[in-house]
């Protein structure tokens, strides 16, 4: 059996795709290894979303090329979004043997076969229909705690800054029943939590079923699972989805709702299809139904033409919503996108960085406030494993996706336990285990 090592960068979709690749190649005699030193094939599943993500990966490819040249027979391949974006440029560098885009993973066995004969091999065709619906992912979390289920691929939104529609192709939804089947297989294998994944889950549509219908069906079909989903686009998250969350206690009270900017002028330039007022209306709709729902976001500082006033609007929408957590970035121009073609990247780097730091400082305070509000409350937490810093402590997440740590030598990964919050940092809830655990 040949040994396959895969390193994964980027979003959760890539993590899910890596599991599909392991599954496809397992059928062709490739076993998984965690050790680069014993790998016959090294694949890197890549991300193009920002330049620094790509630069880091290119650096890593140099290291893999070194291994490739010093150990005969080792093949190196690039998968995912950079494969799609850079195509044969990657092969021309002479540093890799295989390039496979996100819709080409079924051809990996053939590509590897070709490459093993010394011929560089590439497949970057995008598909209108590929969803890998029939492939059972070889999950990386073998402990049966939390599983990703991809429900759609691609994206049709074409936000002006974003490379994803070019690297992932057109949006397509996966067969409804295949999702239900995979969710119930996860439950049968002992997983306690699943996350339904797509770039824009609210535009899921398969025959007459929309995302609310899918969410309700999964929640009812798998009552023992905690159910998460990501990502929701502000213009598309419907009342029906919110009502479905309210109606099902096993759907986690957490919505990741990327705002990107608080300025209407910038939102329009970004081709986001909501306004500041529209965004705040959706937040009110969420909180009106689920006052305890955790809301997290993504933001981009320093997009083309952003003024200090636009930036102040972003800071103020952060204050107004009081996000529980955020992923924060400064704008990185991506070749080929609408913004790269139409708008100069005119906010100087030092200004971008300063604005980003201001957003981060504000959000750190908001995260701390959000966590302080939880002190004294009890939560059900899904145990992930020992805490990184202290082996006598366990860590795991609440339904709202907040990280908890507590002293515990009894429970194990995959257990659902009751904890009480006694303190916090901005990133973590410090808890004690409740003496009486409810039967479950
Ligand atoms: N589909 C999701 C986001 C996918 S990309 C959505 O629409 O919200 C994840 C995040 O990366 C985005 O939300 C955005 O905040 C950030 N991002 C995307 N392109 C970027 C760019 N060119 N520069 C900086 N950040 C970017
Ligand atoms: Fe990119 Fe916009 Fe699609 Fe999200 S919705 S993946 S930001 S184009
Ligand atoms: Fe990156 Fe591609 Fe995901 S660009 S964020 S890995 S869809």
Q: What is the pTM of this model?
A: 0.96
Mean pLDDT of 23-35: 97
- With H, G, I as helix, E, B as strand and everything else as coil, classify residue 105: helix
Q: Has residue 310 been placed in a domain?
A: no
Query: 163-178, pLDDT tens digit by residue?
Result: 999 999 999 999 999 9
Residues within a 6 A CB radius of ligand 3: 10-11, 13-14, 47-49, 80-81, 163-164, 167-168
Ligand 2 atom nearest 200 alpha carbon: 5
Between vectors from CA 361 to CA 357 and to CA 364, what angle results, nearest 5°?
Answer: 135
Nearest CA to ligand 2 atom 1: 162
**pLDDT over threshold 70, residue 23:** yes
Q: Has residue 215 been placed in a domain?
A: no
Mean pLDDT of 353-357: 98
The pLDDT assigned to 436 comes to 78
Query: How sure is the predictor about 440, in pLDDT bands with cuts at 50, 70 and 90?
Result: low
User: Which of 200, 231, 274 to mutate to test ligand 2, by most ligand atoms within 8 A of the CB atom?
Assistant: 200
Dihedral, CA of residue 159, residue 164, residue 165 and residue 167, to nearest 10: 150
**CB of 250 within 8 A of CB of 223?**
yes
**pLDDT over threshold 80, residue 308:** yes
Q: Has residue 58 been placed in a domain?
A: yes
Query: What H or E segment, with its residue span, contains residue 400?
Result: none
Find the CATH number of the domain harbouring 388. 2.40.50.140
Q: Has residue 228 been placed in a domain?
A: no
**pLDDT over threshold 70, residue 382:** yes
Q: Where are the beta strands (DSSP E) in 217-369?
A: 226-230, 254-256, 294-301, 325-330
Q: Has residue 81 been placed in a domain?
A: yes
Mapped to the 3 state alphabet, what secondary structure does 60-102 carry?
A: HHHHHHHHHHHCCCCEEEEEHHHHHHHCHHHHHCCCCCEEECC
Mean pLDDT, all residues of the chain: 96
- Measured in Å, residue 31 CA sits from the centre of ligand 3 at 26
Q: Give the residue numbers spanning the domain of 22.
A: 2-123
> How many Cβ atoms are within 10 Å of 91's Cβ, its own excluded?
18
The pLDDT assigned to 140 comes to 75
pLDDT greater at residue 60 or residue 141: 60
Mean pLDDT of 282-296: 98
Domain boundary among 84, 102, 123: 123
Mean pLDDT of 404-419: 94
Domain boundary among 74, 105, 123: 123
Query: How sure is the predictor about 238, in pLDDT bands with cuts at 50, 70 and 90?
Result: very high
Ligand number nearest CA of 150 is 3
Greatest distance between any 2 Cα atoms in the chain? 64
Residues within a 6 A CB radius of ligand 2: 155, 157-159, 162, 164-165, 199-200, 233
Q: Has residue 201 been placed in a domain?
A: no
Mean pLDDT of 330-355: 98
Q: How many domains does the chain divide into?
A: 2
User: Which of 150, 160, 162 to mutate to test ligand 1, by most ligand atoms within 8 A of the CB atom?
Assistant: 162
Ligand 2 atom nearest 260 alpha carbon: 7
Q: Has residue 102 been placed in a domain?
A: yes
Query: How sure is the predictor about 391, in pLDDT bands with cuts at 50, 70 and 90?
Result: confident
């Amino acid at each position: 059996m040949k040994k396959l090592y895969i390193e994964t960068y980027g979003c959760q979709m890539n993590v899910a795709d890596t599991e599909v690749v392991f599954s496809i190649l397992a059928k062709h005699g490739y076993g998984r290894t965690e050790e680069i030193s014993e790998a016959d094939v090294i694949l890197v599943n890549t991300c193009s979303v920002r330049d620094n993500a790509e630069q880091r990966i290119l650096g890593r490819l140099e290291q893999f090329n070194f291994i490739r040249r010093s150990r005969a027979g080792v093949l190196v391949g690039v998968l995912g979004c950079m494969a799609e974006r850079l195509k044969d440029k990657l092969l021309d560098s002479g540093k890799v043997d295989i390039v496979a885009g996100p819709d080409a993973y079924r051809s990996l066995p053939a590509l590897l076969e070709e490459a093993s004969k010394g011929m560089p091999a590439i497949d970057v065709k995008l598909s209108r229909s590929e969803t890998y619906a029939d492939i059972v992912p070889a999950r990386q979390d073998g402990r049966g705690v939390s599983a990703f289920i991809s429900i759609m691929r691609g994206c049709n939104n074409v936000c002006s800054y974003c490379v994803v529609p070019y690297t992932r192709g057109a949006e397509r939804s996966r067969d409804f029943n295949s999702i239900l089947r995979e969710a119930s297989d996860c439950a049968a294998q002992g997983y306690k939590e699943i996350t339904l994944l797509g770039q824009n889950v609210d535009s899921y549509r398969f025959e007459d079923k929309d995302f609310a219908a899918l969410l309700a069906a999964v929640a009812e079909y798998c009552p023992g699972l905690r159910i998460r989903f990501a990502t929701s686009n502000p213009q598309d998250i419907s009342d029906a989805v919110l009502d479905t969350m309210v109606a099902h206690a096993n759907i986690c009270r957490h919505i990741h709702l990327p705002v990107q900017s608080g300025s209407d002028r910038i939102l329009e330039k970004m081709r986001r299809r909501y306004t500041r007022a529209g965004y705040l209306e959706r937040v009110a709709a969420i909180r009106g139904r689920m006052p305890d729902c955790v809301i997290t976001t993504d933001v981009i500082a320093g997009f083309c033409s952003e003024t200090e006033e636009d930036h102040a609007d972003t800071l103020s929408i952060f204050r107004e919503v009081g996000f529980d957590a955020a992923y924060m970035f400064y704008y990185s121009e991506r070749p080929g996108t609408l913004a790269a073609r139409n708008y100069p990247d005119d906010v100087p780097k030092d200004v971008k960085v300063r604005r980003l730091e201001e957003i981060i400082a504000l959000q750190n305070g908001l995260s701390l406030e959000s966590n302080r509000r939880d002190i004294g409350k009890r939560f059900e937490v899904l145990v992930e494993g020992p805490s990184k810093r202290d082996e006598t402590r366990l860590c795991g997440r609440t339904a709202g996706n907040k990280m908890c740590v507590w002293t515990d030598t009894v429970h194990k990964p995959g257990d659902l336990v009751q904890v009480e919050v006694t303190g916090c940092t901005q990133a973590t809830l410090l808890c004690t285990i409740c003496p009486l655990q409810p039967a479950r």
